[in-house]
Structure 1
Amino acid sequence: MTEDPALLTTTTAPPVREWPALDLDGADFDPVLAELMREGPLTRIRLPHGEGWAWLATRYDDVRAVTNDPRFGRAEVTRRQVTRMAPHFKPRPGSLAFADQPDHNRLRKAVAGAFTVAAMKRLRPRAQRLLDDLVDGVVRDGPPADLIERVLEPFPLAVVSEVMGVPAEDRERVHSWTREIISTTGAEAAGRAKEGLYGWIAETIRARAGGTGEDVYALLGAAVGRGEISEEEAVGLAGPLQIGGEAVTHNCGQMLFLMLTDPELLRATRALGPGARGPVLDELLRYIPHRSSVGLARIALEDVEVAGHRIAAGEPVYVSYLAANRDPEVFPDPDRVDVERAPNPHLAFGNGPHYCTGAVLARTQTELLVDTLLDRLPGLRLAVPADQVAWRRRTMIRGPRNLPVTW
């Protein structure tokens, strides 16, 4: 990027490309995104919902630059109908995803204590016990089993509920709401789910106002009580954190599917042993196409040059972390899973101020899931041909709908 406006180029803007919401099987890379990457580091897109078009950055260095540059803001997106993937778009005050500085740091501070490395170390033994109970049931019942239904869905739900402070009797209801919200089946159903979830969150935060617990709802209740954030902000902040557990289910589902359809990858992963599989997990996080299309836009707050193009003030910009993770300038032979890849500076958890709040939590769960399943289910393999594994449809987060295995 260039700071001096006098250096802005006048390169002809690329054509606007339609990017439909594709239902893809397996870990296939989105062919539309692949084509956009070939067309140039900066292209223009129109998504299924919203209005107009937006710039799209796909090159690693440009993605990092845009996401670190305060001249691109998120708050303005809440006042615009930017072209987007989701049919429903009703951001709430307090959402970290749409907060610019200094509000972003003020809001993030309210919950930071629940997501530190130290907090995850304290959580890990409890999470392992929750996981062991689930796998005990799978082992007891014997093969075959659907790992999504038996382990990959209930485990992240239970762990996120522990971190958030969701009572046991409310967990299934909360999970049903979050599942509906991340689908793309329609604005009406998602709207009802959001009303249910956010109403429940508001009641829960009020109930924890005088508490001293370390869970997220207790921290938020205390922050509201001290006047550091408003109740409205606390509710908007909690919602995406509660929904975040869904990503672990589907990311791990993709990882395990890749292992179970690639004998060499499975052998290499098993050989490393528990606690030593970090490099493999990093490579799989880099490789898997964990989402459909792109996430949330930013708005240029002034004229900025990116990749030789002038982005005018007020124009929306998307970045693709999936594309950045396949940039051959940073990741040689990017379309191959290389368990020995080093260094591996992937952007699977984002970049800049909006780096995923729950990244350490997600990584902890992923390590526990892969280690426990591989070590407790010897000879783990698919119970059906790979092309009979059903994949999620009309959703923003990709992954297998079921994963039938035997051992």
Structure 2
Amino acid sequence: MTEETTTLTGPPVREWPALDLAGTEFDPVLAELMREGPLTRIRLPFGVGWAWLATRYEDVRQITNDPRFSRTAGMDRQVTRLAPHFSPQPGSPAWADQPDHNRLRKAVAGAFTVSAMKRLRPRAQELLDPLVAGIVRDGPPADLVERVLEPFPVTLICEVMGVPAADRPQMHAWAAQIVSIKGGAEASAEAKKGMFGWIADTVRARADSAGDDVYSLIGAALRRGEISEAEAVGLAAPLQIGGEAVTHNCGQTLYLLLTRPELMERMRHQPEARATALDELMRYVPHRTAVGLARIALEDVEVGGQLIRAGDPVYVSYLAANRDPDVFPDPDRIDLDRDPNPHLSFGNGPHYCTGAVLARLQIELMVGTLLDRLPGLRLAVPADQVAWRRKTMIRGPQSLPVTWG
């Protein structure tokens, strides 16, 4: 990792390349940055300048809860970033500060509550069971990504959102391209154009619908004048794309179980303890490459003993916060009995993931059903031959070949 000397007060600026890491390896650059101090300065592969990086749990919580750090202010700034393209969607809650953020999320909040997910659970299991039954029928080997981890989250999020079956393959293709770094700005822009256009047409068409699917809820909010059309698109798109993250996160979780027999044995034979164990696996899994979206300091703020000046861009690392030894003793060890486990895998503060309960439901169902239906589940290839996604913002296996019995 190289460094750049600077006349500005603060630590040196460190180059952070977008590493294509295999397996569940923790990013060695991030590990080094964590050792250097609670706040460091980084330069990512694209964009302009440098940004602060917060890695300590309490600092991450402070920044993500503090209105003096603005997402909206970052929409007009070409700060250093992971993605080669930068086209923030106007009206997206991801870029909104309060009170707009709560106003936008209110339109869809009812679809993602704990009670709504409890009602959804039987239907989700109905969609999952035929996929697993198909694997059992065809016999080993099978690629879990192709047969279950991709089709199930895509089908379920499309059902929750209200995407007709005929449009689901295209929606999946758009979402996969948007979260990829491959293809550059042009491919991402083309995918966004297609998805955003489809969403705009759909919410307009459902403005008078009384349905409880998400696009109908957004259409109704649009009709009532609570959100604009741009906000309707910006609200729906991240929810639609969320199925991709579930695929990759569950893939990493299963890879951990398949490569660590003691974990697999525990999960298989103690189903009553799976919920606690899954929290620990979610804490441990490095679900993304580098960092997400930056915030901009609106005024001078002290964090972790370091003064951040007004106008400075700031990133937080949830991956690093999840390995903070002050909060998670022996953080590099997987402890399936870890309790409490206040991990930040779904974010923190106002921008906590809207679909967190749905994501958790899907991972719980997929892991549990596969373990229960496929006795002796194990990798069909050596662990070092599992192919991993490249040039992507969300990490996960490209395929997960398994056998069983």
TM-score (norm 1): 0.96
State yes or no: 1:342 paired with 2:359.
no
What's 1:80 paired with?
77
Distance 1:232 1:36 in 2: 38
Query: Which secondary structure does the structure 1 equivalent of 2:107 belong to?
Result: helix
CA drift at 1:35: 0.4
Query: Which secondary structure does the structure 1 equivalent of 2:108 belong to?
Result: helix
Counterparts of residues 107-126 of structure 1 (less than 5 Å): 107-126=104-123
Structure 1 unaligned spans of 5+ = 1-10
Counterparts of residues 253-292 of structure 1 (less than 5 Å): 253-273=251-271, 276-292=273-289
Query: Which secondary structure does the structure 2 equivalent of 1:277 belong to?
Result: helix
Distance 1:180 1:313 in 2: 35
What's 2:179 paired with?
182
Q: Counterpart of 1:320 in structure 2: which amino acid?
A: S
Matched-pair contact (CA < 8 Å) for 2:93–2:105? yes
Distance 1:94 1:118 in 2: 27
What's 1:205 paired with?
203
Structure 2 unaligned spans of 5+ = 1-7
Query: Which secondary structure does the structure 1 equivalent of 2:307 belong to?
Result: strand
Query: Which secondary structure does the structure 2 equivalent of 1:28 belong to?
Result: coil
Counterparts of residues 181-260 of structure 1 (less than 5 Å): 181-185=178-182, 186-260=184-258
Distance 2:205 2:273 in 1: 42
Distance 2:304 2:9 in 1: 12
Query: Which secondary structure does the structure 2 equivalent of 1:90 belong to?
Result: coil
Deviations 1:5-48 (A, max 9, x none): xxxxxx94000000011000000000000000000000000001
What's 1:405 paired with?
402
Distance 1:269 1:284 in 2: 11
Deviations 1:255-296 (A, max 9, x none): 1000010010111111211x5411110000000000000001
Distance 1:105 1:263 in 2: 44
Distance 1:221 1:284 in 2: 37
What's 1:360 paired with?
357
Distance 1:342 1:372 in 2: 24
CA drift at 1:309: 1.1
Residue 318 of structure 2, aligned match among 318, 321, 342: 321
Deviations 1:361-405 (A, max 9, x none): 000101100110000000000000000000000000000000000
Distance 1:66 1:73 in 2: 10
Distance 1:382 1:38 in 2: 34
CA drift at 1:89: 1.3
Distance 1:309 1:355 in 2: 25
Deviations 1:200-223 (A, max 9, x none): 111111111100111110000000
Aligned residues: 396
Matched-pair contact (CA < 8 Å) for 2:65–2:348? yes
Identity %: 75
TM-score (norm 2): 0.97
Q: Counterpart of 2:124 in structure 1: which amino acid?
A: A
CA drift at 1:236: 1.0
Q: Counterpart of 2:378 in structure 1: which amino acid?
A: R
Distance 2:157 2:123 in 1: 12
Residue 304 of structure 1, aligned match among 290, 301, 304: 301
Deviations 1:46-97 (A, max 9, x none): 0011101000000001000110111101001101001100111111122111
Distance 1:150 1:382 in 2: 15
What's 1:27 paired with?
24
CA drift at 1:145: 0.2
Residue 43 of structure 1, aligned match among 37, 40, 43: 40
Deviations 1:334-366 (A, max 9, x none): 011110111111000000000000000000101
What's 1:173 paired with?
170
What's 1:132 paired with?
129
Q: RMSD of the TM alignment (CA)?
A: 0.9
What's 1:389 paired with?
386
Distance 1:315 1:393 in 2: 30
Query: Which secondary structure does the structure 2 equivalent of 1:235 belong to?
Result: helix
Distance 1:175 1:385 in 2: 29
Runs of at least 4 residues off by over 2 Å:
none
